[in-house]
Structure 1
Amino acid sequence: MHLSYCTNVHPAEDLAGIIEQLDTYAEPIRQRLGADVLGLGLWLAAPVAAALADDPALRRGLRAELDARGLEVVTLNGFPYEAFQAPVVKHAVYYPDWTSRDRLDYTLDLARVLSDLMPETAAYGSISTLPLAWRTPWDKSRESVARQHLDELAHGLEKIAAETGRTIRVGFEPEPGCVIENTTQAADLLRNVDTRWLGVCLDLAHLACAWEQPAEALDRLAAAGVPVVKVQVSAALQTDDPVAAAEVLRAYVEPRFLHQTRTSLGGATDDLDLALREQLPGPWRIHYHVPLHALPEPPLSSTVPVLRNAIHELLARTDCEHYDVETYTWGVLPVSQRPTDAAGLVGGIAAELAFARDLLAAEVTAR
């Protein structure tokens, strides 16, 4: 089992910046945890991924930098293409989507890079990616193009495995508002892919926002033959009474990311400000990744109980080995909860990893 934290919380998009963030954040987090090795769910923007894929010497150099700091990479986040910490991201994160060859090329570049970064002891590497596309525009023609690209992706991963001896698997990550929003849609649209190489990345905040029961969701995927190749250990924001919580919720409205809001009765908006304006009946779950170890300001809560249940079911029902803590929203949290410097972010991420480590260890021990 590999536990990591996702580096898409950091803005660096060139190799020098990535190495700098290893010194500023990753190595201090490892030291804070007292760990000999710290896992990173590395995010590489498309330009640096292409440069690394084209140059074996660059890949060897990055691997050496990781090794020197006691860092390992078995998984990459291939969902954001670039500029994920730009002032405004919103819908841009879903482009290019799987109707575009750029998305295919980027993902295969990541696979090539990961095959050289992952430790020899890892059974496989994983890459998470977007769930085909945002839901509009989408039609049979676009679906056909995307399926062709998924076939080419599987073929490319098989070729990399033959050349390197390393298995890389890609997980499509259900997310609110996308073509694949939940495990029902994942089971339907991924049923016929080559599951030696392709499967699902299960983000536990997204699972909660879809109001899915973890055991039922995993049974659904298993019945369709769709494997879970990666788990993103994350928690969403929740309120049972959005009217009472409206003032506190307004502090979470911000311009960078979408915060899709879903109600237990099927109500939906594509951002939190719209949900507040439309006064959807509660309870709400909001696509806003909140720190795992710290409760939001009352009367808000988080979906950590769903996360706990999901981890229990995942360990019982799947052979997934990759668990990646993905709280990328530290920089847009309400001011009172936002780290003010690098040391504050190091402390927050370390506390989340300790929470996830202890939860996984307790589940394994209980078994």
Structure 2
Amino acid sequence: MFLGDRHGHLAYSTLVHPGDTWAEMRESLETYAPAVKARVSPDETYGVSLRISGASAQTLTDDPAERRRLASWLSEHDMYVFTVNAFPHGPFKGRRVMEDVYEPDWATEDRVRYTCQVADILAEITPSSVAPSIQTAPLAFRAKVTCEADVEVLTRNVLRVVAHLIEVERTTGRRVKLALEPEPACYLETTEETIAYFRERIWSASGARVLCDLTGLPVSEVVGLVRRHLGVVFDVCHQSVEFEDIAAALRQLRDAGVPIFKLQAAAALRVPMVTADVVAALGSFTDTIYLSQTTESRDGQLTRMLTLTEAIDRWKAQPGGVREWRTHFHVPVFLDDLGEFGTTRDGIERALEVHADTPLSDHLEIETYTWDVLPAHLKSGDVTDYVSRELEWFQEQLRSATAALAASVE
């Protein structure tokens, strides 16, 4: 839905629904989107964040009639797509995903081709009033990037897609934006690393030369065009797991000139004090098909682990001590008190305060894709109720932040 020129477009991520193939995604879209719209936006145009997998991108690329059918269905139901999740290329539901979620990564031709296909689809199906965004992987799983040559390949492939986006806008008049999403355990992980990557690789002399070669345009043109088409997704959950100060991190990106093409609201599981009772209760969150990157803060030091299970095993081997855990397990944003645990929802609140003051992005999204693996005691209602409550909570929080800001300047 459109929240106004200052606050932008808001949607929930359809990554929560089955959608590994286009047939699955189409069924999910047609089943759930009208039901959610009826609750949260019955009388206004409704924005959609669409998951397009590699298989779906190929299906839509090969079938012009299906693209036209999708555009017509959206129009008939007073909906529009403004962003696509093209991060998970392969299966994401009903099977073990873990670090495979990053494959194929940005070192591969498959990732380049897939992302260009999604860009072409977006240029065709989205309204002309929208500059759609593509959410994509943080280059690669960190363990796979071992040398300078690896980084050069990753960067060149990203710039190849930027060159394609420049050509799409030249030929169609449609601007499509690519947004890299930093994530724990990946090559782009922290806000500082992300800013350094843009400065040293994308905006550098070498990055400009690559883009000049790919486009045939002079440096005077490409330095502006790369910022027009390449930025980041800021996922509040990811950066909260990194123990970042969310408001400060957003201001760092803003001040560095890194475009935030999507501000993503998601809350992580937070254990403010690790104890034997809490560790026992955490077992209900370990039976997951997704990575659960966990960061421990102890005596001012951060220790990063790939899964919650690893953190529990390390604690059992050496229990005790004052420590806090934050784990990459998305929990509903309208929940704050989970009994023995908490969440990092306050990071979303801080992000919205910054956004209310100085708009950070015109694409806003709630991404809680873990409905299928949430412990039963956290599920209330069905998935339509769940995402509707998230959208309602987000809007109320943004209204409160805006009102508080207005009151402070009176």
Structure 2 length normalisation: TM-score? 0.84
Counterpart of 1:114 in structure 2 is 122
| Structure 1 SS opposite 2:382 | helix
Return the offset for 1:362: 2.9
- Give the deviation of 1:215 after TM superposition: 3.0
Cα deviation for residue 335 of structure 1 reads: 2.0
Q: Give the secondary structure class of the aligned counterpart of 2:32.
A: helix
1:221 aligns to what?
253
For residue 104 of structure 1, what is the aligned residue in structure 2?
112
1:34 is displaced (CA, Å) by: 4.3
Residue number in structure 1 paired with 2:383: 345
Which residue of 301, 304, 314 maps to 1:278?
Answer: 314
Measure the CA separation in 1 of the matches of 2:99 and 2:155: 22
- 2:292 maps to a residue whose letter is H
Matches within 5 A, 1:13-28: 13-28=20-35
- Residues 157 and 102 of structure 1: is their aligned pair in 2 closer, same or farther, counting only changes over 3 Å? same
Counting only pairs closer than 5 Å after superposition, residues 77-226 of structure 1 correspond to structure 2 as: 77-122=85-130, 124-138=131-145, 139-191=147-199, 192-193=202-203, 194-226=226-258
The structure richer in helix per residue is 2
Unaligned runs of 5+ in 1: none
Q: What is the aligned counterpart of 1:234 among 248, 266, 276?
A: 266
For residues 41 and 357 of structure 2, what CA distance do their matches in structure 1 show?
A: 29
Report the CA distance shift for 1:8/1:256 in structure 2 as closer, same or farther (over 3 A): same
- Which position in structure 1 is the counterpart of 2:291? 258
Question: Partner letter of residue 166 of structure 1?
Answer: R
2:104 partner amino acid: P
Q: Distance in 2 between matches of 1:18 and 1:269?
A: 33
8 Å Cα contact 1:87-1:255 kept in structure 2: no
**Among 35, 41, 57, the residue aligned to 1:49:** 57
Query: What do the CA deviations read for 1:296-324 (whole angstroms, capped 9, x no partner)?
Result: 53120111111100121134344410011
The C-alpha deviation readout for 1:125-171, integer Å capped at 9, x for no partner, is: 11111111110121211111111111111100001111221111111
Alpha carbons 1:97, 1:132 under 8 Å: kept: yes
The letter of the residue matching 2:20 is E
Residue range with higher mean Cα deviation, 199-208 or 61-70: 61-70
* C-alpha contact 1:331 1:338 (8 A) present in aligned 2: no
* 8 Å contact from structure 1 (residues 239, 301) kept in 2: yes
Q: Matched residue of 1:287: which SS?
A: strand
Tell me which of 254, 262, 268 is aligned to 2:304.
268
Unaligned runs of 5+ in 2: 1-7, 204-225
1:131/1:173 contact within 8 Å kept = yes
Q: Is contact 2:336-2:345 (8 Å) kept?
A: no
The alignment partner of 2:152 has SS state of helix
Work out whether residues 29 and 349 of structure 1, in 8 Å CA contact, stay in contact via their aligned partners in 2. Answer: yes
Indicate conservation of the 8 Å contact 2:19/2:51, yes or no.
no
Q: Specify the alignment match of 2:399 in structure 1.
A: 361
Contact 1:81 1:96 in 2 (8 A): yes
* Percent pairwise identity: 31
Answer with 50-59 or 326-335: which moved more: 50-59
Amino acid paired to 1:195: R
Whole-angstrom distance in 2 between the partners of 1:299 and 1:179:
33
Root-mean-square deviation (CA, aligned residues, Å) is 1.7
Q: Deviations over 1:30-71 (max 9, x none)?
A: 112243332221001112212323443322211111222232
CA contact (8 A) 2:357 2:402 kept: no
Which residue identity does 1:52 align to in structure 2? L
**Counterpart-to-counterpart distance in 2, 1:67 and 1:361:** 28
Aligned pair count reads 363
Contact 2:353-2:402 within 8 A present in 1 as well: no
Higher Cα radius of gyration: 2
Equivalent position SS for 2:285? coil
